[in-house]
Amino acid sequence: MEQRILFPSSDWFQKLAICMLAQEDEYRRLGPMDCTMVVRVSSPENGDRNFEIVFRAFSVDSVREINDPGDVPPEHFIIEASLQTWQEMIENIREHCGPDLKHTLNFLTFPNDPMRVNGPDQLQTDAFYRYNRSIQQFFNGATDVPTIYN
């Protein structure tokens, strides 16, 4: 029986990091990215949970859950959405082996609803646009990660 990984969790993002390593050629084609992304998942039960993913070149340098909200790094961007929105996006990616037209990161964040992207300043937020296809590819790794949600 396939093992399901809990979302959100550091383990889940580590799984995506492993998928990224396995697809190094594809990431090399897309181009390197040096940036820090924070994924914020909100739910009525668990409040806000924050996960920091540090990208270096073609791989993930580190993943950690940030327990103290004041510890969120002041660089680059935070992508935030409800657990329900993240779940819908991940399941859509899994169903289609990549997002359909209405579930790309840009589609979901552009109107600021149901997802939002924020940085400490506009230039850092713009890093989300600069590396968008690599970040999308990172989440597309969810195709190979059976997931449960809480």
Partner 1 sequence: MAKYTPTVEVGLDRMRDMARGNFDLSWMDSNPEGWGHKVQRSQAGLKLTDVDHGFYGQVPAQGSSHGTMAPRGCYVPEGTISLDQYTINEMTEIWADNAASLYDEAVVRQWNSVTDVPWEKLKTLPDDMEKAVCQMCTGLAEVEFVAGDMPAKWLCRINHDFHEVKLFLATQIMDEARHLDVFRKRALANGGGLLMASPGQEELLAAILNAPDYATASALMHIFGEGFVLTLFRQGEYLAPTEVEKTIFGLCMQDEARHVAYGVKHLKFLLERQPEREEEIHAILEKGEQAIFSLTLEPQTSEPRAILAGGGLANIELGMMRMAFIYQKQVHEYLQRLKVAGIDRTNRLSIPTEIPYAEIAA
Residues that bind partner 1 (CB under 8 A): 30-32, 56-59, 101, 104, 106-107, 110-111, 121-123, 126-127, 129-133, 136
Please state the closest distance from residue 74 (CB atom) to partner 1, in A: 14
- CB closer to partner 1 out of 43 and 132: 132
- CB closer to partner 1 out of 12 and 58: 58
Distances (CA, A) of 128 to 37, 91, 101, 110, 149: 8, 22, 19, 11, 25
- CB closer to partner 1 out of 31 and 146: 31
Report whether the peptide linkage leading into residue 99 is cis, meaning its omega lies within 30 degrees of zero: no
- CB closer to partner 1 out of 50 and 137: 137
Please state the closest distance from residue 9 (CB atom) to partner 1, in A: 26
Please state the closest distance from residue 54 (CB atom) to partner 1, in A: 12
For tokens 């059976």, the residue is: 146
Please state the closest distance from residue 108 (CB atom) to partner 1, in A: 9
Please state the closest distance from residue 1 (CB atom) to partner 1, in A: 34
Ramachandran angles phi, psi of 106, nearest 5°: -65, -40
Which residues, including other chains, have CB under 8 Å from residue 3's CB and lie 6 or more apart? 146
- CB closer to partner 1 out of 107 and 149: 107
